[in-house]
């Protein structure tokens, strides 16, 4: 297989399934796919055994996810994909260490999400972030948002707790999205904290957005941004490969 990329998933599995759905549906729209061969070539590694990222980030006596992720990157690098995507925001805490293991680029999900804000809300100033406790703790989005010139708005303690409930108790625990709870969280960020746009900084929140959209709040979904970037890169590589072999 030529011109493929590798998805390091399984963090969690339902979120990865949502990412694949977003990736394939948006590919179909971009290339007007009408046959199997119009879609993208990729390998999915659904490594559900990776220890919980938030657990480790807030308490480093817990099992370290870097060990499993490093093995995945090393093993997949032998197959020579064009690039890696990792549809788990919290796992990007380890991005620098993982990138040091391979010459193959790993797409920076938080960076690409923040870069895409202007496409969603061109005049945004106040950017809200809802995510796991681990992502809020390690500040992987904070730096990107502030460096891009936005004012970062973080959830209060109650909203942070509600977000963790939605992510862990509902989506991860029950494969269930509490729509009213999700909308309540967004309402707090937009109506009370006056965010111009809210970053969905956890892939389980992407599941919530897929199943409980129609709320009308301005959000930017990191999984959708990652899927769009993967499509862009994959199609560019496909075009370059085709041109090279036709010349």
Q: What is the DSSP string of 217-240?
A: --EEEHHHHHHHHHHHHHHHHHHH
Q: What is the pLDDT of residue 241?
A: 62
Helix axis angle, 203-211 relative to 13-31, nearest 10°? 60
Q: In 3-state terms, what secondary structure has residue 85? A: strand
Give 30's Cβ-side CA count (13 Å radius): 19
- Of 145, 164, 202, 234, the catalytic one is 202
Q: What is the pLDDT of residue 246?
A: 61
Are residues 93 and 146 both part of a single domain? no
CATH number at residue 79: 3.40.50.1860
Give the number of other Cβ atoms within 10 Å of residue 23's Cβ: 25
Closest CA to 231 of 86, 85, 13: 85
Are residues 91 and 171 both part of a single domain? no
Q: What is the pLDDT of residue 238?
A: 86
Are residues 149 and 188 both part of a single domain? yes
Are residues 120 and 208 both part of a single domain? yes
Its domain, for residue 78, covers: 4-107+224-246
Are residues 157 and 242 both part of a single domain? no
Phi, psi of 198 (to 5 degrees): -120, 125
Q: In 3-state terms, what secondary structure has residue 163? A: helix
Closest CA to 171 of 117, 123, 210: 210
Task: Give pLDDT tens digits along the chain (247 positions).
Answer: 888 999 999 999 999 999 999 999 999 999 998 899 999 999 999 999 999 999 999 999 999 999 999 999 999 999 999 999 999 999 999 999 999 999 999 999 999 999 999 999 999 999 999 999 999 999 999 999 999 999 999 999 999 999 999 999 999 999 999 999 999 999 999 999 999 999 999 999 999 999 999 899 999 999 999 999 999 999 999 887 666 666 5
What lies within 8 Å, CB to CB, of 139 at 6+ separation is none
Task: For residue 58, give Cα distances in angstroms to 55, 138, 162, 165.
Answer: 6, 8, 18, 17
- Rounded distance, CA 163 to CA 130, Å? 7
202 belongs to the catalytic site? yes
How many domains are there within the chain? 2
- Rounded distance, CA 133 to CA 160, Å? 7
Are residues 115 and 217 both part of a single domain? yes
88 belongs to the catalytic site? yes
Q: What is the pLDDT of residue 198?
A: 98
- Beta carbons of 202 and 51 less than 8 angstroms apart: no
Are residues 138 and 209 both part of a single domain? yes
Are residues 46 and 91 both part of a single domain? yes
Are residues 11 and 33 both part of a single domain? yes
Phi, psi of 84 (to 5 degrees): -115, 145
Are residues 126 and 204 both part of a single domain? yes
- Of 15, 57, 88, 131, the catalytic one is 88
The pTM of the full predicted model, rounded to 2 decimals, is 0.94
Are residues 97 and 135 both part of a single domain? no
- Beta carbons of 87 and 223 less than 8 angstroms apart: yes
Are residues 89 and 134 both part of a single domain? no
């Amino acid at each position: 297989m030529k011109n493929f990329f590798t998805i390091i998933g399984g963090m969690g599995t339902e979120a990865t399934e949502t990412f694949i759905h977003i990736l394939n549906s948006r590919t179909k729209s971009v290339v007007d796919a009408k046959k199997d061969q119009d879609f993208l070539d990729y390998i999915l590694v659904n490594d559900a055994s990776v220890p919980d990222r938030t657990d480790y980030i807030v308490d480093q006596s817990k099992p370290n996810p870097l060990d499993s992720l490093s093995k995945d990157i090393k093993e997949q690098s032998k197959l020579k994909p064009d690039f890696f995507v990792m549809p788990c925001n919290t796992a990007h805490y380890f991005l620098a260490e993982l990138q040091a293991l391979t010459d193959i680029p790993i797409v920076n999900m938080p960076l690409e999400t923040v870069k895409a804000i202007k496409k969603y809300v061109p005049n945004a100033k106040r950017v809200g972030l809802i995510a796991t406790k681990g992502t809020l703790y390690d500040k992987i989005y904070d730096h990107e948002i502030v460096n891009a010139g936005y004012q970062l708005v973080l959830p209060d303690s109650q909203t942070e707790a509600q977000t963790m409930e939605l992510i862990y108790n509902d989506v991860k625990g029950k494969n269930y999205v509490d729509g009213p709870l999700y909308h309540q969280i967004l309402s707090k960020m937009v109506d009370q904290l006056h965010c111009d746009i809210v970053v969905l900084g956890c892939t389980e929140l992407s599941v919530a957005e897929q199943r409980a959209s129609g709320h009308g709040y301005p959000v930017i979904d990191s999984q959708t941004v990652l899927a769009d970037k993967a499509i862009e890169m994959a199609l560019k590589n496909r075009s370059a490969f085709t041109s090279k072999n036709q010349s």
